[in-house]
Amino acid sequence: MDNLLCDEVWLSKSSNTFEEVSDPVALKSYENEEFEEAFAVCLEKEVSFLPESDYTKYLHSNNLIFPRCRVIQWFIKCRSRFNISFGTVFLAVNYLDRFVSICQCHDWEYWMLELISIACLSIAIKFNEMSALSLHEIQVENLDYSFQSNVILKMELILLKVLGWRLNSVTSFSFVEMLSVGFLEPHLHEKFISRVIDLLIQATLDQKMLEFRPSIVGISALWCTLDQLFPPKSDTYIAYIMSILNQSQKDDIIKCHKLMETQTSMRCENHHCYCPLSPTTVLYIEHA
Amino acid sequence: MWNEESDWIGSFDALLARLAECSMCSRRSGERPGAAQMDVKILDVAAEGGYGRVFRCLDVHTGALVAMKQITMVRLSQGIPAQIIREVSLLRELHHANIVKLLRVGFTENRYVNLVFEHLDYDLHQFIVNRGYPKDATTVKSFMFQILSAVAYCHSRKVLHRDLKPSNVLINHSKRLIKLADFGLAREFADDFLYTEKLGTSWYRAPEILCHSRQYSTQVDLWSVGCIFAEMVIGQPLFQVINCRDELEGIFKLLGTPTEETWPGITKLMPNLHIYCSKFDPLGLETFVTDLEPSGLNLLSMMLCLDPSKRISAEASLKHAYFTDVNWI
């Protein structure tokens, strides 16, 4: 049964307690037309990169919550092994979710999900990184199955066709990148962003968070991290962001932020990484 | 190793069949049924290059002229080439009057990728070489405005072209309409992102890339547009005209060797600058670009500014005085 457990070493690296920074630097002043325009473009674009509306229900009814969690963790392991960016990981997750939700296949087997995941990560790397990996190389990291290059190539073609070749997805990470430019001094920025990314990864693995749009998840993760690291700055920042959103977006952010806070405090209390509960039934993978 | 002959391939083929039947897939893909066969009749080969060939074709449904770019997939071990993935996916979301329209995408025997584009008569390179270049100032101005409109649009969508040159600027002869093409090196940009330096054609390559910087942004496209601007006026590549051993030396001869005052950060970017080349005093753009009105020369100098942080943006260029007297905008 070992292979059914979530291996979440990648999250436990960061300490669970947030130390106070006595003198946080001033946050960037966002109030400029250019920023608001770019933000509006992203909000408009994100709608066309969402999975189908019944996606969470579909994952549940096909017992895909846990297998999805596993392949996302595989993406994250690949990230550290191949030194790829988090942006690429979030793109791969987006491709996976869109593909599975459009495909609506009713007799999933785990090898299918693994094959699709390899294609998703391969395409995301080629779209977003400076250099590609071979289809053999990409399979080095802990997979249950191994596939020949011609099979993966075929899967890449299917994936691209199903996604309509629309790969420049707007993800929660895109919003974090956009909203945190020039935010803090470089020495604090890295630490701040790694905390935000932790929250984004938890959100990606959590079925409840699938209900929220990427912008909502991204802003909520920034808000939570600011609350923990720079409480005085948090209110000013959120007030400004809220001022450029509509009422339903504001409501969603408050809801998402609350959920994220609860889960973060749970995680800190328990001193282990948050992991979504396993579904009542899971696919047992027999090793060949 | 699982392969095509393995037991599970039956399930895989069933999955493919389900996908083929899936109405949502065809709706999402934006491709007509039979797009795999590309629905075109080849007339002749329009161009040939390292990537493959470009055919002039007829669309069998509409009878319209189209161009089909057939790219050979050489390294199948890497799957579909990154260049194709970027070009197609970015063109899928760039909808602008001055950007070439991608009509269909298809594959042949898993070896060729076929991209069907709207047909244009020739490119700016051919126009300059074969037609004695655009001698009248109005055409230069019109072409420049259209190129900048397309570049400004790309940048507003956070896309860098990274390979702007006359052969990637296509022309519709009757309408005098310009369209940017070849987004194979394009990518979405983010602040503080490291990119590859091995790109672009060297005569149109920005100095920060020639200095091996991997941290660059929209300004690289503006440098290339400046080079195209100068070439339209003088009839040949600007940095080919200057007698020099390489592009960087040519740039420094023309604009002067940079110092920490004129280009903050250059010594960090190129510590061996003083060893690499002599200290040149600027010859000045006006020495080489003689037939350009003062406001045009001013715009050109703002595009060909060594320090990327001081280089004019596409958006600002469109508002430049050079374009104020034009009634076709």
Q: What does the pLDDT read at residue B2? A: 40
- Rounded Cα distance, A196 and B199, in Å: 33
Q: Does A127 touch chain B (CB under 8 A)?
A: yes
State whether B85 and A149 contact (CB < 8 Å): no
- Rounded Cα distance, B69 and B105, in Å: 10
The two domains B34-118 and B122-323 share their CATH topology (first three levels equal): no
Closest CA to A138 of A114, A166, A111: A114
Query: Which residue in the list B39, B59, B163, B182 is annotated as catalytic?
Result: B163
Alpha-carbon gap: A266 to the closest alpha carbon of chain B (Å): 34
Residue that the structure tokens 């999955």 belong to: B15
Q: Which stretches of chain B are assigned E, i.e. beta strand?
A: 40-49, 52-59, 65-72, 102-108, 112-118, 122-123, 159-160, 169-172, 177-180, 187-188
Stated length of chain B: 329
Going by the DSSP 8-state scheme, the letter that residue B199 receives in this structure is -
Signed CA dihedral, A179, A183, A188, A190: sign only: positive
State whether B158 and A161 contact (CB < 8 Å): no
Going by the DSSP 8-state scheme, the letter that residue B2 receives in this structure is B
Position A34, amino acid: E
Q: What does the pLDDT read at residue A267? A: 57
- Rounded Cα distance, A19 and B136, in Å: 67
B39 tagged catalytic: no
Nearest CA in chain A to B80: A153
Are the beta carbons of B85 and B165 closer than 8 angstroms?
no
Are the beta carbons of B270 and B254 closer than 8 angstroms?
no
Q: Provide the residue-wise pLDDT of chain A in tens; the chain has 288 residues.
A: 334 334 333 333 344 333 444 444 444 444 466 678 788 888 888 988 999 888 988 898 888 998 999 899 899 989 888 888 999 999 999 999 999 998 877 678 888 889 999 999 999 999 988 788 888 788 876 788 888 887 898 799 889 979 999 898 999 999 998 888 766 667 777 778 887 998 999 899 988 898 798 999 999 998 999 887 878 768 887 888 888 888 898 999 998 998 888 877 665 555 444 444 444 444 444 444
Are the beta carbons of B123 and B182 closer than 8 angstroms?
no
Are the beta carbons of B115 and B68 closer than 8 angstroms?
yes
Q: What does the pLDDT read at residue A24? A: 45
Q: What does the pLDDT read at residue A234? A: 82
Are the beta carbons of B26 and B11 closer than 8 angstroms?
no
- Taking only the tens place, the pLDDT of each residue in B82-117 is 878 988 998 877 989 999 989 988 876 556 788 999
Residues 6+ apart with CB under 8 A from B159: A168, B90, B94, B183, B186, B187, B188, B189
State whether A164 and B29 contact (CB < 8 Å): yes
Choose from A162, A168, A170, A174 for mutation: most chain B CBs within 10 A.
A168
Q: How many CB atoms lie within 10 A of CB A109?
A: 17
State whether A161 and B25 contact (CB < 8 Å): yes
What DSSP letter does each residue of B91-117 carry, written as one string?
HHH---TTBPPEEEEEEETTTEEEEEE
- Rounded Cα distance, B235 and B227, in Å: 11
Distance of CA B166 to CAs B176, B178, B179, B198, B329, Å? 15, 11, 11, 19, 22
- Rounded Cα distance, A180 and A173, in Å: 10
Alpha-carbon gap: B7 to the closest alpha carbon of chain A (Å): 12
Distance of CA A73 to CAs A210, A286, B302, Å? 16, 19, 48
- Rounded Cα distance, B178 and B161, in Å: 16
Q: What does the pLDDT read at residue A143? A: 82
State whether B195 and A130 contact (CB < 8 Å): yes
How many CA atoms lie within 13 Å of B144's alpha carbon, on the beta-carbon side?
32
Q: Does A128 touch chain B (CB under 8 A)?
A: yes
Residue that the structure tokens 């087997």 belong to: A109
- Homologous superfamily (CATH) of B34-118 is Phosphorylase Kinase; domain 1 (3.30.200.20)
Are the beta carbons of A6 and B122 closer than 8 angstroms?
no
The distance of Cα A241 from the centroid of its chain, to the nearest Å, equals 21
* Ordered structural domains, chain A, with CATH: 50-162 (1.10.472.10)
Alpha-carbon gap: B315 to the closest alpha carbon of chain A (Å): 11
Could you say which of A134, A147, A161 has the minimum Cβ distance to residue B2?
A: A147
Q: What does the pLDDT read at residue B241? A: 66
End-to-end CA gap in chain B: 61
Q: How many CB atoms lie within 10 A of CB B203?
A: 17
- Rounded Cα distance, B203 and A69, in Å: 49
Residues 6+ apart with CB under 8 A from B135: none
List beta partners, residue B115.
Answer: B69, B105
Are the beta carbons of A109 and B6 closer than 8 angstroms?
no
Mean pLDDT by runs of 10 across the 329 residues of chain B is 43 54 39 51 84 84 89 75 86 90 77 86 88 76 95 87 89 88 70 45 79 72 94 86 68 82 78 67 82 92 90 92 72
Alpha-carbon gap: A10 to the closest alpha carbon of chain B (Å): 23
Are the beta carbons of B296 and B304 closer than 8 angstroms?
no
Domain extents for chain B? 34-118, 122-323
Domain spanning B122-323 has what CATH number?
A: 1.10.510.10
State whether B28 and A163 contact (CB < 8 Å): yes
Q: What does the pLDDT read at residue B299? A: 96
- Rounded Cα distance, A285 and A78, in Å: 20
Position A124, amino acid: A
Alpha-carbon dihedral angle through residues B207, B211, B212, B218, given to the nearest 10 degrees: -20
